[in-house]
Amino acid sequence: MAEQTTAQPTPSRARRIFDEIKGLLVTGGLMLFAGTAIGQPFIVPSGSMEPTLMIGDEIAAAKYAYGYGRYSAPIGVIPIKGRVLDSPPERGDIVVFALPRDPKQTYVKRLIGLPGETVQMKGGQLYINGERVERRPAGRVTVAVGGVQVPATRYIETLPNGREHPIFKFRQDGELDNTQEFHVGAGQIFVMGDNRDDSADSRLDPAAGGVGYVPVENLVGRVEAVLGSWDPAVRRDPLWTWPAGLRFSRFFSRVN
């Protein structure tokens, strides 16, 4: 004896549209949550962090590293004061932050000075709390600045907590090589680019296009890795040559 079946009603057009919109909203919500709570990618637009980060690097910033503040969301500002699940940054971290003079802009620099400390450049050398930071030469290189190849020295700098990282120096008597003694206030950090002579950072007053002191509440995340990298200079070449700009050796590489 054949079994009887009952035809299922076909969903109405309105119902299908509602389900599609709901699916998109759920997906968008999950992406927004992940971008706020876990991490967010950023593209490096300048050479101020060379040799550690290169123009065209896509970096991953871990949002959970320092807790969550006003600028943790990928879009908009979270209406909170202070930080939730706050964890203080460490010297030597590469930090992503909302630029204090224009929070719509996001910058990436290395954390050099912590609250209560002093930072100064004298004769091209970095001093923290009056003590010269050790560095050792690591060879001569050429660095592109404004489309021009400039000779530079690569150094390995060792911060007071033992963390090491490379820097570039073109000279020892540039505009930012002899500065005042900066006093980092409570709730602030002092940041610098690894490309020391080509970085508008905390050494430069915001009124002159610099960063100045960065409030801790402006932190977005800590850079953990380079996800991918493509040299934008190849845009000057024919379209079919653009894949040559991919820097495969930098894909999924950790940064220090």
Residue numbers annotated as active site: 48, 109
Helices and strands in the chain: count of H runs, count of E runs? 1, 15
DSSP secondary structure string, 84-133? BT-----TT-EEEEE-TT-TTSEEEEEEEE-TT-EEEEETTEEEETTEEP
Alpha helix (H) residue ranges in the chain: 13-37
**Half-sphere exposure (CA, 13 Å, Cβ side) for 74?**
18
Q: How far apart are CA 96 and CA 230, in angstroms?
A: 20
Q: Which two tokens stand for residue 103?
A: 């929070």
Beta carbons of 68 and 216 less than 8 angstroms apart: no
Q: Which two tokens stand for residue 13?
A: 């057009």
Q: Which two tokens stand for residue 165?
A: 């990282």
Beta carbons of 135 and 148 less than 8 angstroms apart: no
